[in-house]
Structure 1
Amino acid sequence: MPTPPRSARRAVELFVATFRNPQTRGQRRTYMEEFLLFLAGALATSERELLTSDLLDEEAVTVWLTAAQRGATRRRTGMQGPHTAASVSAMAARTTTINGFSRHFGRPLNLPVPQATLANRLSPSEAVRTLRLLSGHPPAKMFSATWQRTVAVLALAVATRCGIADLHPLRLEDLELKRRPARVRIGEEHFPLDTLTTTILGRWLETHADLTAQEKDGAPHGLQGGQVQELWVTTAPGRPRAGQPARRPGLPAARRTLESAHRTLMMEALGSPLLLEQFCSIDPDEQPAGDGTARVNRAAAR
């Protein structure tokens, strides 16, 4: 096992670099950065002054996790306001992250990881009927292009029963809408797409092409150097940061952007915070033997 560096910042960088999967690496970085920022504030010091031993102090870790659970470290407003309590899944991810960090440097904390429960799933017919309802027109307070993208993500979730971790990395080449039957490639598998899903995706691809076009009305519009190949792109300008101008739409969309838009659509259109995984109905062939109560969904397992 590696010798812990003195600098907490350096230790975080070394730990994060051990993950090959970019999504896992991004999640671990997010929570370790959150811990660094929280601890620096609690100790009235700068992040550069923090030591690795500070991050391995169980009392400090407990204080951070407690604050995070009640929403004190939240950077985005939740459904119940700016200090919405963290979900069980988010707390499980934080705990797993700090357990991994401490184990990596030979001082395992072995904190108990909260166990998330799976949300009730819609039946296949309920999922399709709800998708059809949502695909009709955008809510009054939702930008049309954002609605089109969000419904497209939802349509793929319903058709494939795959969650956001599988759907976010998709690229344009993974869709074969002109093939009969149309299909999408996710990982090493191909999933057939019905007419409704194909129509929804075709609508989004037209908007995607407009958002990422290099010219619009004769003026420079998109990225220089070629079309954006990621399937999911931003639909509105980003926020100006550190004195830099706002980033234009049509850039690859972050996973959290897709998740936030999904929450907005659910609340604006249905008035209910349905999760994307709840649309990933369970195939009867995938239910485990026994009384059927211990359902495990493939989307949640990933």
Structure 2
Amino acid sequence: MPENSSRSARTAVVAFLSAIPGEATRSLRRTYLQEYAAHLATLKDCPEAALTQADLLDPAHAAAWLDAAARGETRRRTGLRGPRTPASANSMAARTTTLNTFSAHHGHPLALTVPKPEFAPRLTPEEAHRTLRLLTAHQPDGILTATWERTVALIALAVTTGHGLAHLQPMTLDDLQLDRPLPRARVSRTWHPLDTVTRGALTRWTGTHHALTAGHLKALHGGDVHQLWVTTAPGRPRQGRDAPPAGLPAARRTLEAAHRRLTTLALGTPLLLEQFCPAEPENGA
């Protein structure tokens, strides 16, 4: 085993994540390593704090987690076929890549075979814009108004900029300039001009964003919420703690679930956000 194999799993994860320069990739790796640690703690019947770096690098443990994830046993949100919906090829590829990069960083590469990602067929530009206008104008029953507004704004940016969730999720309010004669949004350090539909969707969402976050600034130690995408409803209480309020930064999985629900309710089929992008699929998008 490599050096430091006896140190805590948490310390090993923090060291690995700190070496990743991109926030989107770092967030994705963090999500899957947290899932891995939670599964392993349950498997070993011990608290997560008791896990070591060696536990995470054990090939048998890695294989057990990947097998469980593929069967849908680690799913935290109900999928299209229920709470045990098998994981997609794309999410399994991301999990496997996470293990490969984590183990290589710590000098014990697992070199696992990465499943081939599967990409859904793209909408044509005309289909994407027509669908966006449809979603912008009609809120389906069964979805919160704020959630609808946030998801439509996210889709509008995907259509306009060609970027997927990996690049859109880290955006902040500073990445929008909606009051210019030619409004624009900054994604991955590049400014993109916005059409009137996208500008309208983002203006509506930023107004809701302000309403959701203004009520609890003091609870956030006086700091504003600069992240563009925030939660639209209170979270669930965990480990004896009060439920977190709405208006906190939204996780990638929260945005994905809301997008899937909106497209299913409005269109009758769960389109992926990448299907609205005119560019080629992005890694992790």
TM-score (norm 1): 0.85
Cα deviation 1:46-98 (Å, max 9, x = unaligned): 44444433333323322221111111111221111111111111111111111
The 5 A counterparts of 1:20-39 are: 20-39=21-40
The 5 A counterparts of 1:107-122 are: 107-122=108-123
- CA distance in structure 1 between the aligned counterparts of 2:49 and 2:119, rounded to whole angstroms: 39
The 5 A counterparts of 1:43-192 are: 43-192=44-193
- Higher-Rg member (1/2): 1
Q: Is the 8 A contact 2:274 2:281 kept in 1?
A: no
**Residue type of the partner of 1:257?**
T
SS of the residue corresponding to residue 137 of structure 2 reads: coil
SS of the residue corresponding to residue 135 of structure 1 reads: helix
CA 1:242–1:41 in 2, change beyond 3 Å: closer, same or farther? closer
Q: Is the 8 A contact 1:277 1:300 kept in 2?
A: no
CA 1:120–1:232 in 2, change beyond 3 Å: closer, same or farther? same
- CA distance in structure 2 between the aligned counterparts of 1:209 and 1:149, rounded to whole angstroms: 12
Cα deviation 1:170-216 (Å, max 9, x = unaligned): 22222222212221122332111111111111111221222223xxx
TM-score (norm 2): 0.90
Cα deviation 1:89-140 (Å, max 9, x = unaligned): 1111111111122222322221111110221000000001111111112111
**Residue type of the partner of 2:4?**
P
How many Å apart are 1:298 and its aligned residue? 5.2
Match 1:253 to one of 250, 264, 274: 250
- CA distance in structure 2 between the aligned counterparts of 1:92 and 1:4, rounded to whole angstroms: 27
CA 1:206–1:45 in 2, change beyond 3 Å: closer, same or farther? closer
Instruction: Report percent identity of matched pairs.
Output: 52
CA 1:209–1:42 in 2, change beyond 3 Å: closer, same or farther? closer
Count residues with an aligned counterpart: 281
CA 1:237–1:298 in 2, change beyond 3 Å: closer, same or farther? same
CA 1:45–1:255 in 2, change beyond 3 Å: closer, same or farther? closer
Which moved further from structure 2: 204-213 or 50-59?
Answer: 50-59
- CA distance in structure 1 between the aligned counterparts of 2:128 and 2:283, rounded to whole angstroms: 16
